Structure 1
Amino acid sequence: MDVTIYHNPACGTSRNTLELIQHAGIEATVIEYLQNPPSREKLSKMIADADLTVREAIREKGTPYAELGLDNPDLTDDQLLDAMLATPILINRPFVITPMGTRLSRPSEVVLDILPADAFKGPFTKEDGEQVLDNEGKRIV
């Protein structure tokens, strides 16, 4: 299965998402988006395909969001995209693209919606100790 993750290795949610993908036996294409941000066209497509607004795809925590005045409701999507491309830390993460769809995997288990359910064999526990998959590889709700 062809899977791409826009990843930040310093982010626990991003690491958990990548580990879930790997737990499914999938070798994902990993793009560290801080060093290799997506093009404007690709970013716009990911946001649309994930059924998000541009504002929903902006990361506020740990970023210069407020300092840049991005909380201004009068800013257009184009202005917000410009800011995200100029300062990639503003792109929320991780975005995951599979043939089954595109998701902003926050929380990390959202990625399960776009991976084959039968790919998981056994339990999965996130870094913080939260169990996501049971002993049979079934999602814990």
Structure 2
Amino acid sequence: MTTIYHNPACGTSRNTLALIRNTGEEPTIIEYLKTPPSKVDLIKMISDAGLSVRDAIRQKGTPYAELGLDNLQLSDAALIDAMLAHPILINRPFVIADKGTRLCRPSELVLDILSRPQQGAFTKEDGEAVINAEGQRVAQAQ
């Protein structure tokens, strides 16, 4: 079973959810701004994704600067507490799947942790083709 910590206002989150659904699976959707993860779950997600706490904080469009979170002397515990008090600071979307946990930025990172294959073509909201009609990942120009 796949779980996505989702923000429906975020294009990356919407694309990630659509990629999960393109496998034929309907994931558990947690709108984390309404239902934030517990402290234990947040710490586990960050750790399981192989991120530092600072890597899991969203800066753009959040009270990051106003809260002084750019202070590099702040402990991970202080940053976690800020994320729990202001869930908008939790970067998104986190996805927990059979093959692991990822912060799916860009959205196609979700493909690395899904067990089921893509079932058809998929194009991101911005028009970027990600999956072809055969369900295979489209090679991106470097």
Q: Please tell me the TM-score bracket, short chain as reference.
A: over 0.9
Q: CA deviation at 1:135?
A: 1.7
TM-score (norm 2): 0.96
Indicate the larger mover: 128-137 or 88-97.
128-137
Q: What letter matches 1:30 in structure 2? A: I
Runs of at least 4 residues off by over 6 Å: none
2:138 is matched with which residue?
140
Q: Give me the whole-angstrom Cα distance separating, in 2, the residues matched to 1:84 and 1:4.
A: 19
Aligned residues: 139
**% identity of equivalent residues:** 68
2:120 is matched with which residue?
122
2:32 is matched with which residue?
33
Q: CA deviation at 1:121?
A: 2.2
Q: What letter matches 1:129 in structure 2? A: G
Q: Give me the whole-angstrom Cα distance separating, in 2, the residues matched to 1:82 and 1:5.
A: 21
1:82 is matched with which residue?
81
Contact 2:24–2:119 under 8 Å retained in 1: no
1:56 is matched with which residue?
55
Q: Give me the whole-angstrom Cα distance separating, in 1, the residues matched to 2:48 and 2:137.
A: 24
Q: CA RMSD in A?
A: 0.8
TM-score (norm 1): 0.96
Q: What letter matches 2:46 in structure 1? A: I
1:96 is matched with which residue?
95
Q: What letter matches 2:114 in structure 1? A: L
1:68 is matched with which residue?
67
Q: What letter matches 1:85 in structure 2? A: L
Q: Which runs of 5+ in 1 are unaligned?
A: none
Q: Which runs of 5+ in 2 are unaligned?
A: none
Q: CA deviation at 1:119?
A: 1.9
Q: CA deviation at 1:57?
A: 0.1
